Chains A and B, each alone.
Chain A
């Protein structure tokens, strides 16, 4: 599917995308900016749709929203454009990914995932049945984490889906427990099945 915006992404449309992103992220338009994305790297509408679907597969809707529902797909695109999760770091062996490399050796993650999933599906991934989509992403994920040292662009994408979800209002405060001012420290509590991990101030305690 050839997106009509491909290759003709101009400044006005970049700003439009920034506004779209801003609404998805719940931040002022000025804050979410594609200004530093090269013109050929701005996402197509299909890529945005695909990233939303993939996000929703990684964190599906249950009694709380899924990652696609809360805009994690657009967050992943924005975050990759700003180099999060070491997205600029070249792989030790990038030959298998030559088509998706920039001049500096870093990846075009979004183009890669689009091509990868279409290829695995043998058809338009977005038109595949939900069970098939789930199976393909499950397989991709298992391969990427087969060994600790395995290098795969999927790792950064998945990491950013999780960040996008658990730092969203719904992910942080409905799926998990968000109490930005705990006011106390309880050093020893029973961990019961209904205890929800605390998400507040995720930058405070970063042991992963």
Chain B
């Protein structure tokens, strides 16, 4: 099989690469390690809880045996378990003393089916962070380089949100915002008045206006997105980029195939193709190409580069710098506060809005006001009323209990902090020297720990969050300043960072390998810093930008 481009992975960025490259006229092979999932045929999407064997909660014993990491994901349950990997079949290792929960979805569409859909632009506070405080290496791009690509991505995927005019959280091409509920409206006002901070509804890739030409409906406010959405109301590969790519007639999709290595020809200094394992029968296959896009997910793209070591590149493909695998990150996140709002007990809402609120970053912008840290944090959360589940935690039985649970319960608001993660060489990916998977591919080994900067940020975030809730009239009942285990933000990134210097970074400003001109890595692996925003929108914008550059280079005969 000979292609103009091979895209490894079919998730959030793989779908974008396939779309952009096929629309430019290239013949593209997209390879996905997991099974095919067809849009509109989501197995459990429309089932009522009484139609599920364990009512949607699922088999806890099975989860403990085979999904011991994935079950920690808030989106994971009996309905969605088929959209997450089986941990037993897909092992990874951690370095001594490290803990990392690697949350994964191996299937056509990847994590685009299960993502949180929060879509935020990064700002120049983020792209200049490394240069300003000296951690990591400087980004070779700034906001202005990416702004038009953010425009393009937002318009295509459909992002609803409110324009707020904040330099640290730039406005985008938004569809009309979803509404704040009554408690959030109140909190927004109080927080703005008392602190000058902005709480706004989560900018989310769930549409409030249909795109009938693309067969996509507006959001139905079910908030069961991770089951798959046959309305096509949230952005996924299946709902959005895949149909666009297929419509060109230039796309070939291969599922159930793990790419184990990218082939490199030292004579031409080009990658020439990929080798893969068919997961159904263990047979091997290969395909050749004029260029390769790695979109396997940050850690898997790095894994693939490490595993593509050769006589010419013994430390891994495109690793002349030695930076490959280093400076991985994940946001340090914790539940900073929970507060009760009994004064709203005569108000309620209807519908399951599929997003929460965000409190935009306010620390360490033009004034360095972080205590013990030099970067930012922001909060996501929201106000919700308890449901019948509250009855599990309280005394009471009989008719009185039944009557009480018939009404929505107490309003409570939560704020979860996401803190910028400093890039460190000690947080890194390597190939496990001993352990392999069932196909004999070396396992990825993860070495990761948060440091004192993240701890300090979350301590300040906890104190701030409580102050904001109190200012809004909330009754704070608890809060934490301890980061969750690495990986729990599901924003793992870095390992093949972009940079100016080929000796200190893997990729250039076009997401192109410094060492190998026809190799591009456009997923989270390319990130040089983490910011405190959810990163997927930025990955998509970088992918669209890299595809444009790659197509031009190909046409000009440069690669």
Contact = CB atoms under 8 A, between A and B. Distances in A.
B407 A197 contact: yes
Interface stretch (A94-102, A118-126, A159-167): A159-167
B395 A59 contact: no
Contacts of A208: 386-387, 389-390, 392-393
Interface string B405-426: 1111100101000000000000
Nearest to B46: A180
A57 B221 CA distance: 35
Contacts of A196: 406-407
Contacts of A134: 398
Nearest to A64: B402
Contacts of A144: 395
A106 B284 CA distance: 45
B351 interface: yes
Contacts of A167: 49-50, 55-56
Contacts of B52: 27
Nearest to A86: B60
Contacts of A176: 388, 406
Interface stretch (A6-14, A43-51, A77-85, A107-115): A77-85
Interface stretch (B180-188, B261-269, B368-376, B443-451): B180-188
Contacts of B351: 182-186
Interface in A167-208: 167-169, 172, 175-176, 178, 180-191, 193, 195-208
Given A83-B60, A88-B61, A185-B353, A190 B398 contact: no
A134 B398 CA distance: 8
Contact of B352 (A83, A155, A205): A205
Interface string B326-345: 00000000000000000001
B352 A203 contact: no
A26 B36 CA distance: 30
A187 B48 contact: no
Nearest to A204: B223
Contact of A185 (B49, B221, B385): B221
B513 to A, nearest CB: 42
B223 A186 contact: no
A19 interface: no
A76 to B, nearest CB: 11
B554 interface: no
A175 B50 contact: no
Contacts of B386: 207-208
Contacts, number: 202
A77 B48 CA distance: 21
A198 B397 contact: no
A42 interface: no
B53 A185 contact: no
B198 interface: no
B352 A182 contact: yes
A36 interface: yes
A153 interface: no
Given A26-B51, A185-B351, A201-B223, A191 B391 contact: no
Nearest to B389: A208
A39 interface: no
B397 A158 contact: yes
A87 interface: yes
Contacts of B391: 158, 162
Contact of A163 (B57, B184, B414): B57
B408 A197 contact: yes
* B57, B185, B401: most-surrounded residue (chain A CB, <10 A): B57
A82 B61 contact: yes
Nearest to A137: B397
Chain B interface residue bracket vs A:
35 or more
B394 A138 contact: no
Contacts of A31: 53
A164 B55 contact: yes
Tell me if A's interface is mostly helix, strand, loop or mixed. loop
A145 B387 contact: no
A197 B406 contact: yes
B50 A158 contact: no
B213 interface: no
A191 B407 contact: yes
* A32, A175, A207: most-surrounded residue (chain B CB, <10 A): A207
Given A58-B398, A188-B185, A182 B220 contact: yes
Chain A interface residue bracket vs B:
35 or more
B79 interface: yes
B64 interface: yes
Contacts of A79: 54, 57
Interface string B59-77: 1111010000000001001
A142 interface: yes
Interface in B25-57: 46, 48-57
A163 B57 CA distance: 9
Contact of B395 (A82, A84, A145, A204): A145
Contact of A190 (B180, B346, B409, B412): B346
Given A59-B402, A142-B395, A197-B406, A166 B388 contact: yes
A2 interface: no
A191 B405 contact: no
A17 to B, nearest CB: 15
B62 to A, nearest CB: 7
A25 interface: yes
B89 interface: no
A191 B180 contact: no
Contacts of B397: 57-58, 137-138, 141, 158
A202 B56 contact: yes
A199 B50 contact: no
Contacts of B406: 175-176, 196-197
A78 B402 CA distance: 23
B59 A197 contact: no
B465 to A, nearest CB: 17
A57 B387 contact: no
Contacts of B46: 180
Contacts of B180: 187
Interface string A64-78: 000000000001001
A166 B405 contact: yes
B56 A203 contact: yes
Given A79-B54, A167-B56, A205-B384, 18 more contacts: A26-B50, A57-B398, A85-B60, A86-B60, A88-B61, A88-B64, A158-B392, A162-B391, A162-B405, A164-B55, A172-B48, A191-B345, A195-B407, A197-B405, A201-B352, A203-B79, A203-B224, A204-B223
The list of the 9 closest CB pairs from A to B, nearest first, reads A145-B395, A185-B351, A83-B60, A167-B49, A188-B182, A182-B351, A159-B392, A208-B389, A31-B53
15 contacts: A141-B396, A162-B391, A163-B55, A166-B388, A167-B56, A172-B48, A185-B179, A185-B350, A186-B349, A188-B181, A197-B388, A197-B405, A202-B389, A207-B386, A208-B387
